[in-house]
Structure 1
Amino acid sequence: MVIMIADRFETFLFDLDGVIYLGDEALPHAVDGVNRLYEQEKQIRFLTNDPRPTREAVASRLRELGIRAGKEEIVTAAWAASAHLRRKEVATAAAVGSEGLRTELRQQGITVTNESPDAVVVGADEQTTYADIRRATRHIDQGAQFIGTNPDGAFPTPDGPAPGAGAIVRAVETATGTSPTIVGKPEPLMFEVALEGTSVDQDAVVIGDNPATDILGAHRAGLTGVLVADEAPVAASARDFTHPDAVIRSLAGLFSHTVTPWDNPQYSWPEDIRPGVGAVVLNGSDEVLLLKRADRGQWALPTGTVERGEAVSEAISREVREETGLQITVDRLTGVYSHPKQQVFSYPSGETVHFVTNCFSCSVDGGTLEADQDEALDVGFFDTDRLPSEILPMHPRWIADAVEDTNVTIA
């Protein structure tokens, strides 16, 4: 039995501009498509990264087009940011942005103030000034949480692109040196907030027109993503999170197309790809050097990143010296590893990085073995045939490749 998209899911999260309407006009089949879903008693949410309007204003616009949307079905970046602060039990906030943003904050029970606020919510509108950016910078410097409504650097206008909230957020980030919590698409927070109040035991699907926000955001949140477009985009990688699970030309396709639901991989989508180095350091007894990492509580090989202006061999020698106190000789390259399941790491800051790691076989050349307490809980040499059970899962493979002394492994 063939199951169409409309029948497979119970909750539908729609982007607005480019999916429901374009400018002041509803797109073909959009009104009929959404209303058919209402008739089937589907749960519907409308999502927009625009942080300026209130939910009621967006709902009113949809009703004018013929879609019977209620305020509670609208998820704007401003409302999502406000709901996020409410979940965090934040009592006071300063706002950089529209009166709509301030309205949404107040409706969540958050007092809008510039007197020692608990948080600063940075959005944007046409009246945003340098003084607003300066005031937000001062609050964050004094300890206020930094929330960005959405990351969009620009939005289209008839006269060309105009600065979006993301441009203002980045200005404050540059001034403070502090990374914000971003709420809007493609961040998972937008979708988590949107799904509050829906039947969480039912699958949800995201319908959008932008692979970099709607589809990427859906997949980062573990949801199926359907793209509204004339043709499928070409993804650089088969694992690219921006690649849609299905492509439809209009919302009529919800009732004529099938989709294979998103199968969430066992790694997060990285914001960055960086060069890494790893060392299989062997002593005179052919034992391997391991350290118990303070951040993960697992045994691991010495690893690190290549800094600017640094050769790879210099990087691995520095990392071993800093982490264990030993001086080493870099003997040979044994492997290059990059599989995302093992080489994507998320940090407490929220940053997620995919490392391409060059691993080397090394020998001890001097120094005194001692763990860097900022990096490691313990350090020592282990028999390569009797490694500790609590070891990072990819490192036994790296050790085996180095000990076998065969061709360089690329994985």
Structure 2
Amino acid sequence: MRSTSQCWLTDMDGVLVHEDRALPGAAEFLARLIEKARPFLVLTNNSIYTPRDLAARLARTGLSVPEQAIWTSALATATFLDDQLPGGSAYVIGEAGLTTALHEVGYTLTDVDPDFVVLGETRTYSFEAITRAVRLIGNGARFIATNPDVTGPSAEGPLPATGSVAAMITKATGREPYFVGKPNPMMFRSALNRIEAHSESTTMIGDRMDTDVVAGIEAGLDTILVLTGSTREADVERYPFRPGRVLPSIAEVIDLV
């Protein structure tokens, strides 16, 4: 059965790629979206890389995605802060994906009396930077984090990610961060605004029930769970909500476009 969706959001890791290899059907799915002129965005909670970096990474796997069709938790965070306090200032723990996004919305990055402490993912967390964040939050800076993921993947095994470091800062300050990325439906709403889409005519494709699917449902989107990533088919029954469809892979989505 063909979908009635005119616009599409799709997660990246576990849906289009896995460990820097394109998953079967991913290239054909993206080509079908372009052929049908369907507005779409590729979403990721990863805040380390800029859209240009990620477009290059996808190109190395054989997937052609223009950088303007990539929406990261860093971009969603910058959009949120620009809405909340245009032209504000932030102390940032993160890498180019996050600092570039904040610069582009006109934010000043500073470690002196910032409006916000913004925590993103980085492979070089330093005790000095975390200590500075704790003291700034204690002095009144508002605490924002790009996403709640506690671990990230690597070739050697899981790495501590944004959510883990956020928990350490929360323990030291007593202040919980506001997480912008998935499963906050805020990230999907900002993505919809980016492509001028409506929730009633948009489908979200993901590989995780606890982030992609629940946030898609809360944002009012149709949802598709593919079984090429984190969630197994047997896991679906454990959740009190269900995706619109459960499909083996992105290859089965092509005919729905």
Determine if the alignment matches structure 1 residue 78 to structure 2 residue 74: yes
Structure 1 CA distance, aligned partners of 2:51 and 2:157?
26
Other-structure match for 1:247: 246
Other-structure match for 2:236: 234
Other-structure match for 1:15: 11
Aligned with residue 60 of structure 1, among 56, 59, 65 = 56
Determine if the alignment matches structure 1 residue 124 to structure 2 residue 126: no
Deviations 1:161-201 (A, max 9, x none): 11011101111111111121101111111111111132334
Structure 1 CA distance, aligned partners of 2:127 and 2:38?
45
Unaligned runs of 5+ in 1: 259-411
Higher relative contact order (CA 8 A, sep 6+): 2
Offset, 1:68: 3.5
Other-structure match for 2:135: 138
Deviations 1:213-248 (A, max 9, x none): 1111111222122111166333235xx23x321111
Other-structure match for 2:193: 196
Offset, 1:19: 0.7
Q: Residues 142 and 206 from structure 1, CA distance in 2 versus in 1: closer, same or farther, beyond 3 angstroms? A: same
Structure 2 CA distance, aligned partners of 1:99 and 1:254?
33
Other-structure match for 2:211: 213
Give runs of aligned pairs for residues 132-211 of structure 1, distance below 5 A: 132-201=129-198, 203-211=201-209
Return the letter of the residue paired with 2:165.
Answer: I
- Give 3-state SS (helix, strand or coil) of 2:55's partner: helix
Q: Residues 197 and 79 from structure 1, CA distance in 2 versus in 1: closer, same or farther, beyond 3 angstroms? A: closer
Q: Which has the larger Rg?
A: 1
- Give 3-state SS (helix, strand or coil) of 1:253's partner: helix
User: Given that residues 123 and 168 in structure 1 are in contact (C-alpha distance below 8 angstroms), is that contact kept between their aligned partners in structure 2?
Assistant: no
Q: CA RMSD in A?
A: 1.8
- Give 3-state SS (helix, strand or coil) of 1:196's partner: helix
Structure 2 CA distance, aligned partners of 1:159 and 1:198?
37
User: Given that residues 31 and 65 in structure 1 are in contact (C-alpha distance below 8 angstroms), is that contact kept between their aligned partners in structure 2?
Assistant: no
Offset, 1:256: 4.3
Give runs of aligned pairs for residues 21-32 of structure 1, distance below 5 A: 21-32=17-28
Aligned residues: 251
Structure 1 CA distance, aligned partners of 2:114 and 2:196?
35
Structure 1 CA distance, aligned partners of 2:197 and 2:96?
32
User: Given that residues 148 and 163 in structure 2 are in contact (C-alpha distance below 8 angstroms), is that contact kept between their aligned partners in structure 1?
Assistant: yes
- Give 3-state SS (helix, strand or coil) of 2:78's partner: helix
Deviations 1:65-122 (A, max 9, x none): 4444222221111121111111112411110121332122111211111111111111
Determine if the alignment matches structure 1 residue 44 to structure 2 residue 40: yes
Structure 1 CA distance, aligned partners of 2:140 and 2:16?
40
Structure 1 CA distance, aligned partners of 2:60 and 2:162?
27
Structure 1 CA distance, aligned partners of 2:186 and 2:236?
27
Q: Residues 56 and 257 from structure 1, CA distance in 2 versus in 1: closer, same or farther, beyond 3 angstroms? A: closer
User: Given that residues 149 and 183 in structure 1 are in contact (C-alpha distance below 8 angstroms), is that contact kept between their aligned partners in structure 2?
Assistant: yes
Offset, 1:157: 1.9
Offset, 1:35: 1.0
Mean CA deviation greater in 135-144 or 58-67: 58-67
Offset, 1:257: 6.1
Other-structure match for 1:348: none
So what's the TM-score if we normalise by structure 2? Answer: 0.91
Structure 1 CA distance, aligned partners of 2:118 and 2:161?
14
User: Given that residues 35 and 67 in structure 1 are in contact (C-alpha distance below 8 angstroms), is that contact kept between their aligned partners in structure 2?
Assistant: no
Return the letter of the residue paired with 2:245.
Answer: A
Q: Residues 257 and 12 from structure 1, CA distance in 2 versus in 1: closer, same or farther, beyond 3 angstroms? A: closer
User: Given that residues 226 and 250 in structure 2 are in contact (C-alpha distance below 8 angstroms), is that contact kept between their aligned partners in structure 1?
Assistant: yes
Return the letter of the residue paired with 1:79.
Answer: L
Offset, 1:33: 1.0
Query: Taking every aligned residue pair, what percent have the same amino acid on both sides?
Result: 35
Greater share of helix: 2
Return the letter of the residue paired with 1:208.
Answer: G
Other-structure match for 1:92: 89
- Give 3-state SS (helix, strand or coil) of 2:238's partner: coil
User: Given that residues 209 and 236 in structure 2 are in contact (C-alpha distance below 8 angstroms), is that contact kept between their aligned partners in structure 1?
Assistant: no
Structure 2 CA distance, aligned partners of 1:103 and 1:193?
18
Unaligned runs of 5+ in 2: none
Other-structure match for 1:114: 111
